[in-house]
A and B are shown apart, each in its own frame.
Chain A
């Protein structure tokens, strides 16, 4: 939790994003079908403090990537507010002012094979944000900056003359990081930056990102479905389910004393080498369709602790051990806290 005194760098309040996936109106009219709306993000509140790494985890289709895209402005929100350093991002402002805000946040994408323009040389790819924001004084300064950026991600300035296809996945992801750092941002949104990479390369990229964070005081919003990666890099973790946040907690607390039944279910999927012999509940069922989410708590059809209230009333997030949990069973004290061993080994 960000301490009360300082303003969070990023604050999302009651953020919603719905997508209209209806068939064309002619088809709808002929078949008498209603509009179909996917509630990809359905009202989430997050505060991210300066210098921390906030991770969002959840199964595919839970809306975590949509949050990432909302934050950097690739989608406009349907409802709710995104504040960056106290500035409401939905307010219309002048070009220069908007550019000044955009410069301070950048994004690292999932697929290093799609995120670099195949027709551009690496130098131009990395130089693009510098040129777009007019950060370099002259050509020599630009060359200097791009060279420095490439060195920071452990490539050489000579690599700038090559094309993206001449690099491996890990190297491309480092080019992608160099491009994201080019505008000297404070806040980086990382959308599954390691999930397209080999395990050995994943660690390398994560360590590089943590190293850069220490050096430049970066703040990360880290999106992942890989709990091991999240445990490694995060200060706080938010667990998403069907467009809603079910639990937010500091990393250690979340992995050692998970509260929400969904968090427990996710943690049970991590193989553990200690062979404690503890009974695990396998992840049962599938994520329901976000077009027609269950009433009440979205998790209740899969939840072993659900009762009648859960299917009727949507749980509100309540404070718990430095985080929040949205669960009736926890709120009513029906579900005792369980200790897990995962964090101890980390």
Chain B
């Protein structure tokens, strides 16, 4: 690991100033991803601003929804009574990710900012447009079994790894951020992460020095019928091949409202808008779930080694919606 200066921030303003003043400075929260990337020489910050002592770890009720402090630990978020009771989809998604130890360290803000686990991004001997702009993409012609089937570009086919973010996308969350001048703004979750296009080095639409202060989830009526399904190579502690966050609000057996987001398929959490549109007003039957899944997945553009993700995605959508409908975890 390269040498860096360690500073402990005492307030958010000072932290954002320190990072915006130095383009090679980074915030340090749980550290579970950035320290690993520094050991691999992928991230090379000259200064780490430790923000873990800032008071941004509150989880509280807000307008019938919930406000999640950026520095609340993943474990505390998943287990907070407000979250478990009203947004079990988020609890399930968080608990599907990483391990007990890592969830105890990782923060909500940091979870959103974790970087792809594309092996070519991690291997500094390989070209990677995300790591080093315009160096090429080794995954395109390489082993791309784990890679994207939606929204990729010639520059980058990496997928975004977070489970938590998939649930947040489905729940129409917003992200509150603050810049070095103390100016705050709210970003819709769908606009927080970006597709790779021509600049895959940028994972999000944050500007340098902007600090996530909280994540807000609006009130909804999905609590009784939601499910996070994660399909992976081993039963636990592995990144998703495909994951689906599904939430339903029904009137009798008729679908009043539905949210479907997918993980492991794109450079950002993939909201299955096509499938959602098809399902509203329909009966919650397996046949309809299948039809919606087909509609969503027909737009997929698989790569050489990940064609299986198209069929897997279809089945995962149907399965997640069925589990949600059964109130399996409620």
**A and B: partners?**
no
Q: Which residues of A contact B (CB under 8 A)?
A: none
